[in-house]
A = this chain, B = another copy of it.
Amino acid sequence: MSDLSREEAELLHSQCCQAVADPKRIRIVYALHDKERNVTNLAGYLDTPQSTVSRHLKELLNRGMVTSRREGPAVVYSLTDDRIIHALDIMRQVLADTLRRQAQLVELLSD
């Protein structure tokens, strides 16, 4: 693979991570893992303006992480690939261990 296309691939890779690098989008992804939802439902669930939710969904849609389907006047979104949840869970575990380690350091200091 050429350097150029490798760089491009890494850019795409980073953009996938970028897609879940926002608190609201993480909540959206987990919420859609629970069950498919439309925009208004998510807006209520996240206590966030509809326009904001719509824009986040557009981001996730562009990355192919969610799928949309029209249902009457509403648009129902669902998670494309559950492995995204798997990756997020791994990151959460790494985070948890990191925080645990840091907490232990704090205890050492206070002794």
Contacts and interface: CB of A to CB of B under 8 A. Distances in A.
Interface stretch (A34-42, A49-57, A80-88): A80-88
A55 B51 CA distance: 35
Q: Tell me the number of copies of this protein.
A: 2
Contacts of A75: none
Q: Main SS of the interface on chain A?
A: helix
Interface of A: 7, 10-18, 20-23, 25-27, 63-65, 80-81, 83-84, 86-88, 90-95, 97-99, 101-102
A13 B95 contact: yes
A64 B101 contact: yes
A80 B97 CA distance: 11
Nearest to A102: B64
Closest 8 CB pairs of A and B: A64-B98, A18-B21, A17-B21, A87-B90, A21-B21, A87-B87, A10-B23, A14-B23
A83 B88 contact: no
B18 A13 contact: no
A6 to B, nearest CB: 10
* Residue in A7, A20, A63, A65 whose Cβ sees the most chain B Cβ within 10 Å: A20
